[in-house]
């Protein structure tokens, strides 16, 4: 059983004439096997939360804590976070020139497990995972994210998630830019990972569409850098009908 705990998290970024506070006291607890959806209007700080937990250098934690089974995540390097079992799929994944998908996956797997995967099993696992995600075998020889379409980037992220077996996965707008077929394939990948490994999932999304495929146990509405409302799956249905207007009015 793994627990990711975010307590009163405040995060700022440097801007031209000073600093700007983006996260204003986020509280969130995600346990193994649970799926939490974070929903909210554009600019509410959802990606900032993902970047902060990932350890992106642009985002400064000014107060609050992030722990994984009591261990201080904020004191860990990005590599240590991955080895601790955290997996972060970013809204805008970066290119890794000169590194093929195949090499990238094997290096990541080796780093996380502390030993190289047995080649025969590994080759088979990669093949099966790629085929499940409807990816051509030749995709493995392309350079990471170089010229990937939106859909290919998302599939590649879920491929990593399926092969690396994280304890906690944060998926930022995994649904953005996907057509219905790709959305279904990617969602099935997340659901396979959930079934086979008891991973905890923090699913960040602006739209309710992906929640038809990946069923959240909890829904948190993010407004202006903090959680404004929480509920179960029914809260997503309500947002689908009403949008975020009532939250934005309160703010004005
Ligand atoms: P969301 O993912 O909910 O759309 P973001 O976390 O991307 O929101 O952004 C929240 C707010 O913080 C926005 O107003 C955005 O412009 C601002 N912001 C995010 N990252 C930076 C940055 N690196 N520099 C300056 N402002 C930023
Ligand atoms: Mg956004
Ligand atoms: Mg975002």
Ligand 1 atom 14, closest CA = 43
Whole-complex ipTM? 0.95
Centre of ligand 2 from the C-alpha of residue 111, in Å = 31
Please list the pLDDT of the chain residue by residue as tens digits (252 residues): 999 999 999 999 999 999 999 999 999 999 999 999 999 999 999 999 999 999 999 999 999 999 999 999 999 998 899 999 999 887 667 777 789 999 999 999 999 999 999 999 999 999 999 999 999 999 999 999 888 888 899 999 999 999 999 999 999 998 888 999 999 999 999 999 999 999 999 999 988 999 999 999 999 999 999 999 999 999 999 998 999 988 887 555
pTM beyond 0.90: the answer is yes
| DSSP track, the chain | --EEEEEEEEEEEEETTEEEEEEEEEEEEEETT-EEEEE--TTSSHHHHHHHHHT-TT-EEEEEEEEETTEEGGGS-HHHHHHTTEEEE-SSPPPEEEEEHHHHHHHHHHHHHSSPPPHHHHHHHHHHHHHHTT--GGGGGSEETTT--HHHHHHHHHHHHHHH--SEEEEESTTTT--HHHHHHHHHHHHHHHHHH--EEEEEESSSGGGGTS--SEEEEEETTEEEEEESHHHHHHHHHHTTHHHHHHH-
Centre of ligand 3 from the C-alpha of residue 48, in Å = 7
The domain defined by 3-251 folds into Rossmann fold (3.40.50)
Ligand 1 atom 15, closest CA = 43
Centre of ligand 1 from the C-alpha of residue 225, in Å = 10
């Amino acid at each position: 059983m793994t627990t990711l705990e975010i307590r009163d998290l405040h995060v700022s970024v440097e801007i031209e004439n000073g600093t700007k506070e983006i996260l204003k006291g986020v509280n969130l607890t995600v346990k193994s096997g649970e799926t939490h959806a974070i929903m909210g209007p554009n600019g509410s700080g959802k990606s900032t939360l993902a970047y902060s937990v990932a350890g992106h250098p642009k985002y400064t934690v000014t107060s609050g804590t992030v722990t994984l089974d009591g261990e201080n995540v904020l004191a860990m390097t990005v590599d240590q976070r991955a080895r601790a079992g955290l997996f972060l799929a970013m809204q805008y994944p970066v290119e890794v020139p000169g590194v093929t998908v195949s090499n990238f996956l094997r290096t990541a797997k080796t780093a996380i497990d502390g030993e190289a995967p047995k080649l025969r099993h590994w080759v088979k696992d990669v093949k099966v995972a790629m085929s499940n995600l409807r990816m051509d075998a030749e995709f493995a020889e392309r350079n990471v994210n170089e010229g990937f379409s939106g859909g290919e980037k998302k599939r590649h992220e879920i491929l990593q998630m399926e092969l690396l077996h994280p304890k906690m996965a944060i998926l930022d707008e995994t649904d953005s830019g996907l057509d219905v077929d790709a959305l279904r394939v990617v969602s099935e990948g997340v659901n396979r990972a959930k079934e086979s490994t008891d991973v905890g999932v923090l699913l960040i999304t602006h739209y309710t569409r992906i929640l038809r495929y990946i069923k959240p146990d909890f829904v948190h509405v993010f407004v202006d850098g903090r959680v404004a409302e929480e509920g179960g799956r029914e809260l997503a249905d309500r947002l689908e009908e009403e949008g975020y207007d009532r939250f934005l009015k309160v703010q004005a």
